[in-house]
Amino acid sequence: MSYTIEGKTGTWEIVVGLEVHAQIISHSKLFSGASASYGGEPNTHVSLVDAGFPGMLPVLNRECVAQAVRTGLGLRARINLESRFDRKNYFYADLPTGYQISQFTHPIVGEGTVEIELADGTVRHIGITRLHIEQDAGKSMHDQDPARSFIDLNRAGVALMEIVSEPDIRNPEEAGAYLRKLRQILRYLGTCDGNMEEGSMRADVNVSVRKAGEPFRTRCEIKNVNSIRYVMHAIEVEAARQVEVWEDGGEVDQETRLFDPARNETRSLRSKEDAHDYRYFPDPDLLPLVVEQEWVDELERALPELPDDKRDRFIRQYGIPRYDASVLVAEQAIADYYEEVAKGRDARLAANWVTGDLFGALNRTGRTIQDSPISAQALGGMLDLMADKTINGKIAKEVFEDMLETGDSAADIVERKGLKQVTDTGAIDAAVADVLARNADKVEEYRGGKDRLFGFFVGQVMKAMAGKANPAIVNEALKKVL
């Protein structure tokens, strides 16, 4: 899909690269034994290491390294067996040591790729430049005191992964698809919960514009955007702003900007005079990090099936359309639910019920698959009743609604409501005879060539039998008599 901006001077293309900060799921912090869990009373998830006390030293959390390696594997990226930790030096109230420990020149993960799928079915590959491990900062609160800002270091030192994409993204939709896909992969891997509201995943968005065929122009970095929707909006308004600047004969400054969702605009965050000079150098408190290939292999063997692989398997194994498969693998829990329903049953029918009626019901009731009122087993039980012709498709809808409401099993509902499908040909033949007798005129018309009245007769018979008749037998009986 092509997305361009029509300016006064011609057509502009957008170039976007994303730097995603994803909080690593771990019990303790990256370099200290303090809890990494969210919340907690102010300054309680803080050790003297986190507070940067004199003589305190960092010791690396092995699980955080494993999580970064798993993520790298999930991004089909190169794992660097030797990486290093550098200090990024700057002063800020929420940065206790005056430097952030990060990986600058030698990240743990190198180039990889993420496959995204757009609404029109287009598949694109977005390159990953690198992934590195670093520390989160603390939190400043500005609204509790007229003269002072308050500092809470609970987040200081929590492990983050920074995942940097190539400038391969060309429009807001792709940016959204990329972020959703990344989040999906992280969640599958269990390396980040992807919760943008709590800040455990946030994006810095690099935007520039250019005319077709041009090299890249100056980019601006929009910092800390905390929802996918905002990322998409920010790209749109920032690109429009840059086109205007260029077309008015100006220059876009390389700078950091902030997205203001209320005003739907970006604005400059720091003046140029105050440009940062981070003075990166290898952290002398830490030696180079060396991981063994065997350990990486072990982590790889233990990885869960990734969404793309699962989607392809669903298509292959269950014979369902690509679109359905993509929807079903969106979350691990949905995929698991589906597989349980589909197991030993009509997999395509199962897919229809899960993506159709079940998703509709969850949407309606504001629930997720985890707290679905109908378990996978229960839905499977209903499909079994359809398969053995105890109920037909129409009755199934009724049973499903009842299950949703009462939580009863399909079998119980069929029993309670007497919805068992009638397959007794005698009863059906009688109903057929009755309907034809009462509609003798229509029978004449049908025999006169008005074929489409056949459906009318089926409907009448089904109605007479309160929907419980087996439709195939009804058809057969009607054809015979007519």
Partner 1 sequence: MSLDPATVRRIARLARIGIDESDLQSLQGELNGILGWVEQLNEVDVEGGSPMVGTGHAALRTREDVVTDGNCREAVLSNAPDAVGPFYTVPKVVE
Partner 2 sequence: MSLTELTIADAAAGLRKRAFSAVELVRAHTDAIGALNPRLNAYITPTSDAALEAAAHADAALARDEAKPLTGIPLGIKDLFCTTGVRTTAASNILKNFVPPYESTVTANLLRDGAVFVGKTNLDEFAMGSANITSAFGPVENPWKRKGEADTVLVPGGSSGGSAAAVAAGLAMGATGTDTGGSIRQPAAYCGIVGLKPTYGRCSRFGTIAYASSLDQAGPMARSVRDCAIMLQSMAGFDPRDSTSVDRDVPDYSAAIGRSLKGLKVGIPREYRAEGLSAEIGAAWQQGIEWLRAAGCEIVDVSLPHTKYGLATYYIVAPAECSSNLARYDGLRFGERVEGQTLDAMYEATRRAGFGPEVRRRIMMGTYVLSAGYYDAYYLKAQKVRTLIRRDFTECFQQVDVLLTPTAPTPAFAQGEQSDDPVQMYLNDIFTVPASMAGMPAMSVPVGLGDTGLPLGLQLIGRPFDEETLLAAGSALESAAGFTHRPAIRAEGAK
**From candidates 48, 81, 333, 433, binder to partner 2 by CB under 8 A:** 48
CA distances from 189 to 69, 182, 234, 361 (A): 11, 11, 29, 28
Least distance in Å: CB of 13 to partner 1? 33
From residue 356, alpha-carbon distances to 363, 366, 393 in Å are 11, 15, 14
Residue 148 touches partner 1, criterion: CB under 8 A: yes
- Dihedral sign computed on CA atoms, order 375, 381, 386, 391: negative
Provide CB contacts within 8 A for 378, sequence distance 6+: 403, 409, 410
Residue 456 touching partner 1 (CB under 8 A): no
Close Cβ partners of 298 (under 8 Å, ≥ 6 residues apart): none
Encoded one letter per residue, x for contact with partner 2 by CB under 8 A and - for no contact, window 115-154 reads: ----------------------------------x-x---
Q: Which does 364 bind (CB under 5 to 8 A by kind): partner 1, partner 2, none?
A: none
State in angstroms the smallest separation of the CB of 68 from partner 1: 12
What are the helix (H) ranges across 343-452? 347-353, 359-365, 376-387, 393-406, 410-417, 425-438, 440-447
* 192 in Cβ contact with 168 (< 8 Å): no
Nearer to partner 1, 142 or 301 (CB): 142
One character per residue 311-340, x = contact with partner 1 (rule: CB under 8 A): ------------------------------
Alpha-carbon distance of 357 to 206, in angstroms, equals: 40
Chain positions 253 to 312 lying near partner 2, rule: CB under 8 A, are: 277, 279-281, 284-287
CB 217 within 8 A of CB 228: no
Binding flags for partner 1, 281-310, as an x/- string (CB under 8 A): -x---xxxxx--------------------
Kindly identify the residues of this chain, within the stretch 19-38, that bind partner 1 according to CB under 8 A: 26-28, 32-35
Site for partner 2 in 91-120 (CB under 8 A): 91-93, 96-99
Interacting residue with partner 1 among 6, 41, 248, 371 (CB under 8 A): 41
Residue 26 interaction partner, one of partner 2, partner 1, none, beta carbon < 5-8 Å per kind: partner 1
Which partner, partner 2, partner 1, none, binds residue 87 by CB below 5 to 8 Å per kind? partner 2
Q: Which does 65 bind (CB under 5 to 8 A by kind): partner 2, partner 1, none?
A: partner 1
On the 0-12 / 13-18 / 19+ scale of CB atoms within 10 A, 452 is exposed
Least spacing, CB of residue 17 vs partner 2, in Å: 22
Q: Which stretch binds partner 2 (CB under 8 A): 45-53, 120-128, 215-223, 427-435?
A: 45-53
- Residue 97 binds which one of partner 1, partner 2, none, with CB within 5 to 8 A depending on kind? partner 2
CA 465 → CA 94, 186, 247, 382, 453, distances in Å? 73, 53, 73, 21, 19
What residue 55 binds from partner 2, partner 1, none (CB within 5 to 8 A, per partner kind)? partner 2
Indicate whether 101 belongs to the interface with partner 1 (CB under 8 A): no
Can you tell me which of 22, 25, 34, 51 binds partner 2, judged by CB under 8 A? 51
User: Environment class of residue 390 by beta-carbon count within 10 Å: exposed (0-12), middle (13-18) or buried (19+)?
Assistant: buried
Rounded-to-integer distance, Cα 171 and Cα 3, Å: 6
Q: Is 35 helix (H, G, I), strand (E, B) or coil?
A: strand
Tell me which of 9, 10, 59, 406 binds partner 2, using CB under 8 A.
59
Report how far apart, in Å, the C-alpha atoms of 77 and of each of 2, 74, 110, 177 are.
28, 7, 6, 19
Paired tokens of 294: 């065997």
Question: Taking the complex as a whole, how short is the minimal distance between the CB of residue 335 and partner 1, in angstroms?
Answer: 27
Q: Is 335 exposed, middle or buried (0-12, 13-18, 19+ CB in 10 A)?
A: buried
Instruction: Using CB under 8 A, list all residues that contact partner 1.
Output: 26-28, 32-35, 41-51, 59-65, 84, 91, 93, 140-142, 144-153, 277, 279, 282, 286-290
Instruction: Using CB under 8 A, list all residues that contact partner 2.
Output: 48, 51-60, 87, 89, 91-93, 96-99, 149, 151, 277, 279-281, 284-287
